[in-house]
Amino acid sequence: MHVTYDRFLFNSRKQEAGEGIGRFVKELARLSFTCECEDKEDELTGDRIVLCARGDKIRAKLLSEKNLTLESP
């Protein structure tokens, strides 16, 4: 396992055109598993979703949430 490379893959992953948010979240969760970030996987995944989600409306909605979690509707 190469942690630096795994983190690069995680941090460079963006939501692709036509990719639903659910698939994007699942892929981020899969990538975060090998990053050795232990109890921060959900937090880092959430940050990545906000940074890379396609669409300003979605990003604005996510940023307006005070207690955003992966389980949030």
Q: Where are the domains of the chain?
A: 3-64
What predicted TM-score, i.e. pTM, was given to this entire model?
0.71
Local confidence band at 21 (pLDDT 50, 70, 90 cut-offs): confident
Decide if pLDDT at 18 tops 60. yes
Local confidence band at 72 (pLDDT 50, 70, 90 cut-offs): low
Decide if pLDDT at 73 tops 60. no
Beta-carbon contacts of 46 under 8 Å, excluding residues fewer than 6 positions away, are 68, 69, 70
Decide if pLDDT at 69 tops 70. yes
